[in-house]
């Protein structure tokens, strides 16, 4: 039996916003997958409660309440495998910014990006003070440099070139 319930999988994806959160979530699911079926009956949240805490248990509980989680061990194992596969295939957008963003800003940025992508996306954040302000976005081999560094560089190049043109050449 193959579980492909998009809503159940999406519930987990909605708890993460960047690649750090994604890695952490996949690690937790791997841990559940490895230690889940040791003669323990019941749903996944009950089986994993002993060694996992926090958000992930509540997400399992929600989908269990909604009846989106398989009841049998084999179905649960397949669900976890599908979940890992789903998370690993989420679109990743590389974002380079000049400052350390707050969690709420990352959430907002992720929501806006997911809106633009038309589906849940994940941010791969890089902090580089050299960009000064703004951000560089990279997705699917395309790049958009919307930084102050880029603009300043353009301005400086123009300024230096104009200045150089004014200097008379001794070779002439």
Partner 1 sequence: MSLNPTQIFTILIILSFVLSFMSLSMMTILFIRTRQVLKQQEEIISMDKKINKRATKKIEDLAAKKIDDVISATGVKLEEELKKHFLELSKFAAEESNEMGKFIIKQQEAITKESQYHVANMLLKAEKEVAGYKQTKLNEADQQIRDIVFRAAREVIGRSISFSEHEDLVNKALERAKKEKIFA
Q: Rule CB under 8 A: which residues touch partner 1?
A: 93, 95, 97-99, 101, 105, 109, 112-113, 116-117, 129-130, 132-135, 137-140, 142-144, 146-149, 152-153, 156-157, 159-160, 164, 171
Minimum distance from residue 141 beta carbon to partner 1 (Å) = 9
What is the smallest separation between the CB atom of 146 and partner 1, expressed in angstroms?
Answer: 3
Q: Which is nearer to partner 1, 19 or 35 (CB)?
A: 19
Using CA of residue 42, residue 45, residue 48, residue 50, what is the dihedral sign? negative
**48 close to 32: Cβ distance less than 8 angstroms:** yes
Q: Which is nearer to partner 1, 37 or 116 (CB)?
A: 116
Q: Which is nearer to partner 1, 71 or 157 (CB)?
A: 157
What's the closest the beta carbon of residue 164 comes to partner 1, in angstroms?
Answer: 6
What minimum distance in Å lies between the beta carbon of 133 and partner 1?
4
Angle at 81 (CA atoms; ends 75, 83), nearest 5 degrees: 100
- Which of 16, 97 has the CB closer to partner 1? 97
**How many CB atoms within 10 Å of residue 59?**
18
Which residue is listed with tokens 């993460």? 16
Instruction: Find the shortest distance in angstroms from Cβ 166 to partner 1.
Output: 13
Query: Looking at beta carbons only, is 76 or 147 nearer to partner 1?
Result: 147
């Amino acid at each position: 039996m193959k579980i492909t319930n998009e809503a159940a999988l999406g519930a987990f994806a909605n708890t993460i916003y960047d690649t750090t959160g994604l890695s952490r979530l996949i690690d937790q699911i791997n841990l559940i997958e490895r230690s889940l079926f040791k003669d323990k009956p019941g749903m996944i949240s009950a089986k994993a409660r002993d060694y996992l805490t926090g958000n992930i248990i509540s997400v399992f509980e929600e989908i269990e309440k909604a009846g989106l989680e398989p009841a049998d061990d084999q179905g649960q194992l397949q669900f976890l495998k599908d979940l890992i596969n789903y998370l690993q295939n989420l679109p990743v957008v590389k974002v380079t910014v000049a400052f350390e963003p707050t969690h709420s800003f990352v959430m907002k940025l992720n929501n806006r990006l997911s809106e633009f992508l038309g589906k849940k996306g994940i941010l791969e954040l890089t902090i580089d003070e050299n960009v000064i302000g703004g951000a560089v976005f990279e997705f699917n081999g395309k790049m958009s440099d919307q930084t102050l560094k880029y603009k300043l560089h353009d301005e400086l190049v123009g300024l230096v070139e104009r200045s150089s043109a004014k200097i008379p050449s001794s070779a002439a």
